[in-house]
Chains A and B, each alone.
Chain A
Amino acid sequence: MSDYNFAYLDEQTKRMIRRAILKGVAIPGYQVPFASREMPMPYGWGTGGVQVTAACLTPDDTLKVIDQGADDTTNAVSIRKFFENTAQVDVTECTQEASVIQTRHRIPEEPLTEDQILVYQVPIPEPLRFLEPRETETRKMHALEEYGLMHVKLYEDIARHGHIATSYAYPVKVEDRYVMDPSPIPKFDNPRLESAAIQLFGAGREQRIYAVPPYTKVVSLDFEDHPFEQMKAEQDCDLCGAGHTYLDEVIVNDQGGRMFVCSDTNYCATRCDAGHRGRLSPEEDAA
């Protein structure tokens, strides 16, 4: 028995967050201010995502938490434990079994369904922030749909690197209206923002919630002569042999040795169990 209210936050706070979520869903891509609470973890560790998850959870839910695609990293483990303690919900590492998935910087490889909620942890929700430091001005620009400045960033990329070098937190336009920062997911994941699942974004320190409802049009910004390109390492996964997933590069020794593995650990493990083999997979047992 826990002394906490279900999912840590009190009921009034969860109501307040749900109202913000509903408004966010009603206006896709619009950043809804909300009264973010102190959470028992530092800012930058997913305080926004945790509050959104807490407001969405019901006792029947099954929760999955990933950090850069992995289920077993510090951030993912501690948030999962947090909800095990405060909400006693079932937890899982399997994408299909989860009804609520909190994520940091990745979308799971397995296509999501209409029965799932994907919650993102967002460090800086304002896509225009580094170009225009004044919040009053960026709000006005969103209100008046003045998004020319967003392309200045992409212009600078091409001028400096010859191609659009932004590879994560790649700005998108939602439903032909609001320009949105999809949180620092790799731009590999950008086309997968058009999903069957409902996607909620929570920024705790910046006190903003926004949302992409299911089947919403999400377009990555680009130039006519420099179209958006999905990007990944040009290898196959060294463990499961997958050529269609987003890969992490892992340094394995100090002689330049490296391997590429799926960043989505659950997806990779599932494929390995199904018998897929990669370049560095252990030798098959003689049996």
Chain B
Amino acid sequence: MTPLLSVSNIQKTYGHRIGCTGVNFDLYPGEVMGIVGESGSGKSTLLNCLAGHLEPDQGEVLFDTRAEGLRDTMTMSEPERRMLARTDWAFVHQNARDGLRMGVSAGGNVGERLMAVGARHYGNIREQAIDWLGRVEITEDRVDDRPSDFSGGMQQRLQIARNLVTGPRLVFMDEPTGGLDVSVQARLLDLLRGLVREMGLSAIIVTHDLAVVRLLADRLMVMKSGHLVESGLTDQVLDDPQHTYTQLLVSSVLQV
């Protein structure tokens, strides 16, 4: 089976400081990969390298494109990479403001990706936008409201709808539940889990919240100081951590 994303030997340094180094993994279709670690461990650097927002110093990221099979996204031309970023890929930012156009209505935000790939029929665009808002539990009467009128949880759900409307195959998520209170987090996670299973999405989720990966991720990678220290099935890593740092991480979770 061809992996959807094949990452080998990614390294990114900031001057003489290491961002992340020596990362290798394959992601298969329908699989959700979690990346956990403390602040400054290189999770976000790694995610940004994979999504093409940062250029890694070395290594390759192969993506299974629809037309030509495995292609290195680093050596791809920029138009191709940007095309990929608005069709087959999606990126959910931690802060919804980074991923939304705050001056444009919810419907316009969802419709933008459709229009970017050539949709030119207003009625169809709007219908799809309303359909997707419904799927993320935003009612139809909010379709013409701006995201600035939405609560934090709604903004995050809107961002997810905007990203998934073109039916991407790979979703990058950078702390999708960060900054939300726990009850809203729970609903969002429930929603995400439903969507990921229903659409057969592959996803890479960066988070420092072990509960999030326990719920969503099939596999888990633990990072520390830019290095991958442990990886495996989520339940296996969390229930039987081998590396001292992972043990520390698992034991630091507050029990209520």
Binding site for B on A (CB under 8 A): 131, 144, 146, 148-149, 151-152, 155-156, 158-160, 223-226
| A225-B123 Cα distance, complex, nearest whole Å | 7
| A160-B108 Cα distance, complex, nearest whole Å | 11
Q: Given the known inter-chain contacts A155-B122, A225-B122, please indicate yes or no for A148 contacting B144, CB distance below 8 A.
A: no
Chain A residues in 8 Å Cβ range of B79: 144
Contact B122 A152 (CB under 8 A): no
Question: B126 at interface (Cβ–Cβ under 8 A)?
Answer: yes
Contact B112 A149 (CB under 8 A): yes
| A210-B92 Cα distance, complex, nearest whole Å | 38
Contact A155 B117 (CB under 8 A): no
Contact B122 A226 (CB under 8 A): yes
Chain B residues in 8 Å Cβ range of A149: 112, 115-116
Contact A131 B122 (CB under 8 A): no
Chain A residues in 8 Å Cβ range of B112: 148-149, 152
Chain B residues in 8 Å Cβ range of A144: 78-79, 82
Chain B residues in 8 Å Cβ range of A152: 101, 104, 108, 111-112, 115
User: Measured between C-beta atoms, what is the minimum distance from A84 to chain B in Å?
Assistant: 45
Contact B125 A160 (CB under 8 A): no
Chain A residues in 8 Å Cβ range of B123: 225
Question: B121 at interface (Cβ–Cβ under 8 A)?
Answer: yes
Question: B105 at interface (Cβ–Cβ under 8 A)?
Answer: yes
| Contact among B101, B116, B122, B144 for A223, CB-based, below 8 A | B122
| A225-B122 Cα distance, complex, nearest whole Å | 6
Q: Given the known inter-chain contacts A144-B78, A148-B116, please indicate yes or no for A156 contacting B122, CB distance below 8 A.
A: no
| A156-B143 Cα distance, complex, nearest whole Å | 11
| A131-B108 Cα distance, complex, nearest whole Å | 12
| Contact among A131, A148, A156, A223 for B105, CB-based, below 8 A | A156
User: Measured between C-beta atoms, what is the minimum distance from A279 to chain B in Å?
Assistant: 38
Contact A148 B115 (CB under 8 A): yes
Contact B82 A159 (CB under 8 A): no
User: Measured between C-beta atoms, what is the minimum distance from B60 to chain A in Å?
Assistant: 23
6 closest cross-chain pairs (CB), A and B: A148-B116, A148-B115, A223-B122, A151-B115, A224-B121, A144-B79
Q: Which has the most chain B C-beta neighbours within 10 Å: A159, A160, A223, A224?
A: A159
Chain B residues in 8 Å Cβ range of A159: 105, 107-108, 126, 143-144
Question: B66 at interface (Cβ–Cβ under 8 A)?
Answer: no
Question: B16 at interface (Cβ–Cβ under 8 A)?
Answer: no
Question: B120 at interface (Cβ–Cβ under 8 A)?
Answer: yes
Sample (25) of A-B pairs whose CB atoms are under 8 Å apart:
A144-B79, A146-B82, A146-B116, A148-B113, A148-B115, A148-B118, A149-B112, A149-B115, A149-B116, A151-B115, A151-B120, A152-B104, A152-B112, A155-B107, A155-B108, A155-B125, A155-B126, A159-B105, A159-B108, A159-B143, A223-B120, A223-B122, A224-B121, A225-B121, A225-B122
In chain B between 81 and 137, which residues have their CB closer than 8 angstroms to a CB of chain A? Answer: 82, 101, 104-105, 107-108, 111-113, 115-118, 120-123, 125-126
Chain A residues in 8 Å Cβ range of B125: 155
Chain A residues in 8 Å Cβ range of B105: 156, 159-160
In chain B between 25 and 59, which residues have their CB closer than 8 angstroms to a CB of chain A? Answer: none
Q: Which has the most chain A C-beta neighbours within 10 Å: B78, B112, B113, B118?
A: B112
Chain A residues in 8 Å Cβ range of B78: 144
Q: What would 14 more interface pairs be, CB under 8 Å, given A148-B112, A151-B120, A160-B105? A: A144-B78, A144-B82, A149-B112, A152-B108, A155-B107, A155-B126, A156-B104, A156-B108, A158-B122, A159-B105, A223-B121, A223-B122, A224-B121, A225-B121
